[in-house]
Amino acid sequence: NAGVTQTPKFQVLKTGQSMTLQCAQDMNHNSMYWYRQDPGMGLRLIYYSASEGTTDKGEVPNGYNVSRLNKREFSLRLESAAPSQTSVYFCASSEPPAGGISGANVLTFGAGSRLTVL
Amino acid sequence: AQSVAQPEDQVNVAEGNPLTVKCTYSVSGNPYLFWYVQYPNRGLQFLLKYITGDNLVKGSYGFEAEFNKSQTSFHLKKPSALVSDSALYFCAVRGPGSARQLTFGSGTQLTVLP
């Protein structure tokens, strides 16, 4: 019962380098999300994908790109990393409860990826 | 725009005492409210939610929360705290409509002292 799996768990980059964070879920959820967590700021939504084939910007999309490769996988790419992107990144997935109210869905989170940009 | 405020960065309580973690929100329309907990080096885990109905909702690990529409609050409570409850707690809100996404508060660090 893996849930949401993120790789890598830790990464150190130099300014200007690129990298991709991988996320996969095995719960057959339609919706997937990327958040970043910074001290004192809670979680902020970077991008989300309501269903396979669609992606939308969240609150803080600048400097990031995403790909919804298939229903299971949702990757986050940093094309040219900056120190301001030092953060902990969380992937999550969700599905509305059966017969439930749209918007009432609960998110299942991965364990996080800690990224440091020097 | 929707927003969440968690006015206390840190809450300390003695084991066995009742605990309260405060949350207020701002949203257009009826809110969907959530509490999540984060243990060290882990992702967030769902605790409970309010969608509609009874203002007092019960969740995992003995936690409950009371929805107060007039005060726009959704405080998290537990009658008797355990040391193992020590963690970072996040309140979150979503407005009505599937296009709205979840907005999280800044988090409250709960420490239960033995």
pLDDT score, position A88: 95
Task: Please work out, in degrees rounded to the nearest 5, the angle formed at the alpha carbon of residue A89 by the alpha carbons of A31 and A9.
Answer: 110
Percent of chain B with pLDDT over 70: 96
pLDDT surpasses 90 at B100: no
Provide the number of CB pairs (under 8 Å) joining chain A to chain B. 60
CB-based contact B49 A48, cutoff 8 Å? no
pLDDT score, position A51: 85
> CB-CB: which of B43, B49, B102 is closest to A112?
B43
The strands making up A64-68's β-sheet, listed across from edge to edge, are A4-7, A19-25, A74-78, A64-68
CB-based contact A43 B104, cutoff 8 Å? yes
For the segment A81-88, the average pLDDT, to the nearest whole number, is 96
Q: Please tell me the distance from the alpha carbon of residue A16 to that of residue A18, in angstroms, as a whole number.
A: 7
Question: What residues of chain A lie within 8 A of the CB of B51, using their CB?
Answer: 100-101, 104
CB-based contact B101 A108, cutoff 8 Å? no
Percent of chain A with pLDDT over 70: 92
CB-based contact B106 A42, cutoff 8 Å? yes
- The CA R_g of chain A, rounded to the nearest whole Å, is 14
CB-based contact B106 A44, cutoff 8 Å? no
Residue B104's beta-bridge partner residues? B92
**Token pair listed for B49:** 């939610």
Residue B103 near residue B2 (C-beta atoms within 8 A): yes
pLDDT score, position A42: 87
Residue of A60, A102, A114 to mutate when probing chain B, most B C-beta within 10 A: A102
pLDDT single digits (tens) A42-60:
899 999 998 888 999 999 9
Percent of chain B with pLDDT over 90: 76
pLDDT single digits (tens) B53-70:
889 999 989 999 999 999
pLDDT surpasses 60 at A98: no
Banded pLDDT at A104 (limits 50, 70, 90): confident
pLDDT score, position A97: 60
How is B48-61 classified by DSSP, letter by letter? EEE-SS-SEEE-GG
pLDDT score, position A95: 80
For the segment A96-115, the average pLDDT, to the nearest whole number, is 78
pLDDT: which is higher, B52 or B107: B107
pLDDT surpasses 60 at B108: yes
**Token pair listed for A18:** 């690129």
